[in-house]
Amino acid sequence: MRKNVPSMVKDEKLIQKRREQMIKAAVSLFKEKGFHRTTTREIARVAGFSIGTLYEYIRKKEDVLYLVCDSIYDEVRERLEEQIKPGVKGIDRLKQALHAFYQVMDDFQDEVLVMYQEAKSLPNETLPYVLKKEIGMAEIFEKLIQDCVDEGMLQLTEEEVYGASHNILVQGQMWAFRRWALRSHYTIEEFTKMQEAFIIQALNPINTANRT
């Protein structure tokens, strides 16, 4: 599932450590100037080692981008999953997930933005892996919605469930990639509340006040 980036170095622990340094450096640089305007030398320097060392842990500059994207997904997902508690059920569970997701999108604004803008520069072989991870994100919401459907709380076709989950993702991600338009109008809490209302409303849950 994960594409391995080959390294000249054997010590796996060390690889992990150095790549963490590298990713951290890269994310902060990519945020600031984008992938193309960031040089490998800068990445190495900010990471705290030499250009030679950088290339002991990757083959080409693009590999850094892949490592960055891969790592962002893992972090986003981890954060998200640790906030969805198993107790709650149905629509409330979905709401809880939405809350968590918006929170994470706020925390990872820059990272999400980087991914939106630079994914096209990923090494060709790796793009599918990254897209699969994005689909995996959507599937979290698909499952939550489908559970509601199965329990009779929502009436949606399969394709609607799929579409809704992608809408949810995009409506959360826009907090990152449209902040220039949103920050001046909402706090993240206000935004979350509003989007949550829109989404729940759009899913048109059965037996709510606006029926009868």
- Binding residues for its own copies restricted to 114-173, rule: CB under 8 A: 116-117, 120-121, 131, 134-135, 138, 159-160, 162-164, 166-167, 170-171
The listed partner (DNA, its own copies, none) that binds 163, CB under 5 to 8 Å by sort, is its own copies
Q: What is the DSSP letter of 122?
A: S
Tell me how far, at minimum, the Cβ of 24 lies from its own copies, in Å.
Answer: 21
Which chain residues interact with DNA by CB under 7 A? 8-11, 14, 18, 37-41, 49-53, 55-56, 59-62
Tell me how far, at minimum, the Cβ of 39 lies from DNA, in Å.
Answer: 3
- Are 159 and 102 in contact by the 8 Å Cβ rule? The answer is no
Tell me how far, at minimum, the Cβ of 64 lies from DNA, in Å.
Answer: 8
Tell me how far, at minimum, the Cβ of 34 lies from its own copies, in Å.
Answer: 6
For 123, list phi and psi in degrees, rounded to 5.
-55, 135
Long-range contacts of 87-94, Cβ-Cβ distance < 8 Å, separation of 24 or more = 89/147, 89/151, 90/147, 90/148, 90/151, 90/153, 91/148, 91/153, 91/154, 91/200, 91/205, 93/144, 93/147, 94/141, 94/144, 94/145, 94/148, 94/200
**CA-to-CA distance for 11 and 22, rounded, in angstroms?**
16
Summarize as ranges the residues that interact with its own copies (CB under 8 A). Answer: 34, 36, 116-117, 120-121, 131, 134-135, 138, 159-160, 162-164, 166-167, 170-171, 174, 177-178, 180-182, 185-186, 190-191, 194-195, 198-199, 201-204, 210-211
